[in-house]
């Protein structure tokens, strides 16, 4: 696989580069006559043809090359190539946002009357897509619980075409057993799509477990510095061909500037993820011992209900820790307002630690019952653990937890 991709990218197949993190650093698909060491930014809407005949051949797909940046651009191509190497995928297409990638992947492959099966715990906008937007076009979705995969088979009908999963899920950090689902997908001829946003290819390569397509919000760890929006789908070449056709003619392409940023960011993805994960594991352990914390969720904590699966599927637990604060909604809000360093934002995967209250923001469009089903409580808080020193992160959290505890104590004293 890597040898093929190396050949495609004019990287010598005799090269001794074997590891994805090296290829993410060393892959460069374009260089001008100036021989710059860092790939140039191609800010151009279109490309010129050497001749009228070449224009015809490019449009007829008889020749490979850039035509128009809605179709392809050297910067987006480089970002795609790197992601294919990291995800062990054959091909890909990059989008303006993660939701653009999720939507186009489904819209390109499904027709009115088709049916999707998805793990219940998915990102808020993906849930809106499954329950509000696609049904109005005659495409319906059935959810299953990751803890009861034995029931999935019974949901599959002759109309089912796609199995969609997010693992680990946002924000509940629920895992889905990809190997198990792959068996079902093969038996029923379903396309398995995995949203790999939380783990990133550094910690999980769904292609190893038979995923057909892997989608990402590049806005998160792939950028990793909270600068640009982006999305990508990579996977089986035949499926990507359909997605590319859909995307080219519906116009969700990633901009060259954002692609340039993202391609550069991939050079540091592995090293950033290692620090995100070591900070997150340490924070999760410390939170578990705190008296103001009801419960903590992190895939690599031994008491995570799917710890064994996490060890099987992932190399590390990722950079997100979710916990439930004692005192519910009011305590969660008070905790957030007492943080002095950690940012309050809806984003994640930044160098800077971020706290989010999913029930009132990213998952506010779900009903209370739906939130409860995916483990989001009024007191749930999602920490995107950044790259700051772990002691500074924990001290900020500890300070805010103490403030909330003191407030509760004084209220109790007044009412008592
Ligand atoms: C798991 C997951 N998938 C998809 C998305 C959508 O990505 P974007 O915001 O880039 O459209 C997000 C965004 O938070 C996400 O967390």
Q: What is the pLDDT of residues 269-290, one digit of tens each?
A: 999 999 999 999 999 999 999 9
CA atoms of 370 and 353, how far apart (whole Å): 27
Nearest alpha carbon, ligand 1 atom 9: 98
Res. 188: pLDDT tops 50: yes
Nearest to 386 by CA among 215, 167, 220: 220
Per-chain mean pLDDT for the chain: 94
CA of 230 to the centre of ligand 1 (A): 9
Among protein residues, the one with the nearest Cα to ligand 1's atom 13 is: 217
The CA 165 to ligand 1 mean position distance, Å, reads 13
| pLDDT score of 416 | 67
Q: What beta strand segments (E) does 130-240 contain?
A: 140-144, 160-166, 191-195, 213-217, 231-235
Atom of ligand 1 nearest to the CA of 348: 14
| In the chain, where the domains are located | 272-415
Question: What number is the average pLDDT over the span 316-341?
Answer: 97
Starting at the edge strand found earlier in the chain, the sheet holding 231-235 runs: 91-95, 231-235, 213-217, 191-195, 160-166, 115-119, 140-144
Predicted pLDDT at 408: 81
Whether the per-residue pLDDT at 178 is higher than 70: the answer is: yes
Ligand 1 centroid – CA 216 distance (Å): 7
Distance 297 CA to ligand 1 centre (A): 20
DSSP-assigned letter for residue 400: H
Between the alpha carbon of residue 208 and those of residues 78, 167, 325, the distances in Å are 23, 14, 37
What is the pLDDT, as a whole number, of residue 365?
Answer: 86
CA distance linking residue 242 with residue 207, whole number of Å? 19
Q: Which atom of ligand 1 is nearest to the CA of 230?
A: 10
Tokens of 357: 């209250």
pLDDT at res. 29: 81
* CA-198 nearest atom, ligand 1: 1
Are residues 72 and 245 in contact, defined by beta-carbon separation less than 8 angstroms?
no
> What radius of gyration do the chain's Cα atoms show?
22
- Over residues 139-162, mean pLDDT: 96
Q: Which of 219, 252, 347, 362 to mutate to test the pocket of ligand 1 (most atoms within 8 A of CB)?
A: 219
Mutate to test the pocket of ligand 1, among 126, 197, 233 (most ligand atoms within 8 A of CB): 197
- Provide the pLDDT confidence category of residue 3 given band limits of 50, 70 and 90: very low
Asked whether residue 341 carries a pLDDT value surpassing 70, the answer given is yes
Residue carrying structure tokens 């995969």: 149
pLDDT tens digits for range 6-62: 444 444 344 577 888 898 999 888 878 888 888 899 999 999 999 999 999 999 999
Model pLDDT for residues 235-249, shown as the tens digit of each residue: 999 999 999 999 999
Distance 293 CA to ligand 1 centre (A): 27
17-21, 172-176, 192-196: the lowest-pLDDT one: 17-21
Greatest alpha-carbon span in the chain? 87
Q: Residue 20: its pLDDT value, please?
A: 86
If residue 94 lies in a helix (H) or strand (E), which one and from where to where? strand 91-95
Atom of ligand 1 nearest to the CA of 122: 1
Residue nearest to atom 8 of ligand 1 (CA): 98
First to last CA, the chain: 69
Pocket of ligand 1 (CB under 6 A): 97-99, 102, 123, 125, 166, 170, 195, 197, 217, 219, 229, 231
The CATH T-level fold of domain 272-415 is 3.90.1150
Question: Could you tell me the two tokens for 102?
Answer: 């999720």
What is the CB neighbour count within 10 angstroms for residue 333? 18
**Average pLDDT score over residue span 166-191:** 97
- pLDDT at position 15, please? 59
Ligand 1 mean position, distance from CA 32 (Å): 34
What is the per-residue pLDDT across 89-123, written as a single tens digit (0 to 9) for each? 999 999 999 999 999 999 999 999 999 999 999 99
For 269-313, give the DSSP string: HHHHHHHHHHHHHHHHHHHHT-TTEEEEE-TTSTTSTTHHHHHHH
């Amino acid at each position: 696989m890597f040898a093929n991709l190396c050949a495609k990218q004019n990287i010598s197949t005799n090269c001794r580069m074997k590891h994805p993190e090296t290829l993410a650093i060393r892959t460069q698909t374009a260089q001008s006559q100036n021989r710059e060491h860092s790939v140039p930014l191609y800010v151009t809407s279109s490309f010129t043809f050497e001749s009228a005949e070449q224009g015809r051949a490019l449009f007829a797909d008889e020749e490979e090359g850039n035509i128009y940046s809605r179709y392809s651009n050297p910067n987006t191509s480089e970002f795609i190539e790197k992601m294919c190497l990291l995800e062990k995928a054959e091909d890909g297409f990059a989008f303006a946002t993660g939701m653009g990638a999720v939507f186009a992947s489904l819209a390109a492959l499904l027709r009115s009357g088709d049916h999707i099966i998805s793990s219940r715990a998915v990102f808020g906008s993906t849930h809106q897509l499954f329950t509000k937007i696609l049904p109005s076009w005659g495409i319906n979705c059935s959810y299953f619980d990751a803890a009861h995969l034995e029931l999935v088979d019974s949901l599959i009908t002759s109309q089912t075409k796609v199995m969609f999963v997010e693992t680990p899920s946002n924000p509940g950090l629920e895992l889905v057993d990809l190997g198990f689902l792959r068996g079902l997908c093969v038996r029923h001829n379903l396309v398995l799509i995995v949203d790999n946003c939380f783990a990133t290819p550094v910690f999980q390569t769904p292609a190893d477990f038979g995923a057909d397509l892997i989608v990402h919000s590049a806005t998160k760890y792939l950028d990793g510095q909270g600068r640009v929006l982006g999305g990508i789908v990579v996977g089986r070449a035949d499926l990507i061909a359909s997605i590319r056709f859909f995307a080219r003619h519906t116009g969700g392409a990633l901009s060259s500037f954002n692609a340039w940023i993202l391609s550069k960011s991939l050079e540091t993805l592995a090293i950033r993820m290692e620090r995100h994960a070591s900070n997150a594991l340490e924070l999760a352990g410390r939170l578990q011992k705190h008296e103001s914390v009801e419960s903590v969720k992190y895939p690599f904590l031994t008491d995570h209900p799917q710890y064994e699966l996490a060890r099987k599927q992932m190399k590390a637990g990722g950079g997100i820790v979710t916990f439930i604060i004692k005192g519910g909604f009011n305590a969660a809000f008070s905790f957030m307002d007492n943080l002095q360093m950690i940012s309050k934002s809806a984003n994640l995967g930044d160098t800077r630690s971020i706290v989010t209250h999913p029930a009132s923001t990213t998952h506010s469009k779900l009903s209370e019952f739906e939130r409860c089903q995916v483990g989001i409580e009024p007191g749930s808080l999602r920490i995107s653990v950044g790259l700051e020193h772990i002691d500074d992160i924990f001290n900020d959290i500890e300070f805010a937890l103490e403030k909330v505890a003191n407030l509760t104590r004084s209220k109790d004293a007044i009412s008592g």
